Amino acid sequence: QVHLLESGPGLLQPSQTLSLVCTVSGGSISRGVSYWSWIRQLPGQGLEWIGYIYHNGLTYYNPSLESRGNISVATSKNQFSLTLTSVTAADTAVYYCARLRGDAFDMWGQGTMVIVSS
Amino acid sequence: EIVLTQSPATLSLSPGERATLSCRASESVRSSLAWYQQKPGQAPRLLIYDASYRATGIPGRFSGSGSGTDFTLTISSLESEDFAVYYCQQRTNWLSFGGGTKVEIK
């Protein structure tokens, strides 16, 4: 059974860069036709797709991020990462990593809360 | 961008009742629609993919239907653990989620 686990700082100041890592266990990130994804949920709100990456490095991003986001993959570590530059309070959210298989997210991490505050 | 509109925003029902949740897309997503359940403090869980296929381990009381722009998630007989928020999601044109329907105990 594949498991995903997010890690990263819980608190940032405005204008800093957010860096999160998702560690995948129970299966290789390089196998199959899965895309590895980041999704966030603002407090009390719905889900927002950030982007996803294939193991060869091919990426797709939500245009609403205005090029602030970057997703990378480290196949040797079975990890993928999210960086989000110039964060503001509007980036305060729970960030999830998830596996996109076909057109649906079939496996999710537990989520990590990120607060942006001065 | 395809906008997914879920209705109603809140559904108040009793255990044992039938729940019918709607998701409408601003343009056709063919059958590329998924449904998720989210409980407080938890990550979403995939229920239905490709509009009508139950994900692994999902009870038979959950069913999905529809194609094109109109989709329905039906819970045939609500159990206590089914009271949660439900989201739909498409990946035909980029990727987007609906705003969610909260199923609460009446």
pLDDT at residue A99 in the model: 97
Pair of tokens at residue A98? 């998830």
Q: What is the mean pLDDT of residues A19-38?
A: 93
Q: Does the structure show a pLDDT above 90 at A65?
A: no
Average pLDDT over residues A68-82: 95
Question: Which residue shows structure tokens 């498991």?
Answer: A3
For residues B62 and B31, give the distance between their C-alpha atoms in angstroms, rounded to a whole number: 17
Cα(A12)–Cα(A95) distance, rounded to whole angstroms? 14
In the structure encoding, which two tokens stand for residue A71, read together? 């997703």
Check CB contact under 8 Å for A100 and B91. yes
Q: How confident is the model at residue B18, as a pLDDT?
A: 98
What confidence tens digit (pLDDT) does each residue in B13-66 have?
999 999 999 999 999 999 999 999 999 999 999 999 999 999 999 999 999 999
One-letter amino acid at A108 equals: W
What per-residue confidence (pLDDT) applies to A85?
96
Kindly indicate the confidence band of residue A36, based on its pLDDT and cuts at 50, 70 and 90.
very high
Tokens at A61, concatenated: 């991003």
Put simply, whether A51 touches B (Cβ < 8 Å) is: no
Residue A53 to residue A57: CA distance in whole angstroms: 6
Residues 6+ apart with CB under 8 A from A66: none
Per-residue pLDDT, averaged over A49-54, amounts to 95
Q: Which residue has the tokens 């960030």?
A: A95
**A11 vs A65, more confident:** A11
Q: Is A42 left (phi over 0), alpha (psi -120 to 50) or beta?
A: beta
Surface-to-core class of residue A76, CB atoms within 10 Å of its CB (0-12 exposed, 13-18 middle, 19+ buried):
exposed
Contact (CB<8Å) A103/B90: yes
B105 in contact with chain A, both atoms CB, cutoff 8 A? no
Q: Which of A106, A92, A81, A61 is nearest to A6 (CA)?
A: A81
Cα–Cα–Cα angle for B68, B34, A67, rounded to 5 degrees: 95
CB pair distance less than 8 Å for B44 and A49: no
pLDDT of residue A33: 84
With CA atoms as reference, report the closest residue to A51 among A40, B61, A41.
A40
Do the beta carbons of residue A98 and residue B97 sit within 8 Å?
A: no
Residue A31 has what pLDDT? 84
Q: For residue A66, is pLDDT > 90?
A: no
Is residue B57 classed exposed, middle or buried when 0-12, 13-18 and 19+ CB atoms within 10 A define those classes? exposed
Q: Is A32 helix (H, G, I), strand (E, B) or coil?
A: coil
Mean pLDDT of A97-114: 97
The shortest C-alpha distance from B10 to chain A (Å) reads: 14
ω into B15 cis (within 30 of 0) = no
| pLDDT given for residue A21 in this prediction | 98
Q: What is the pLDDT of residue A32?
A: 78
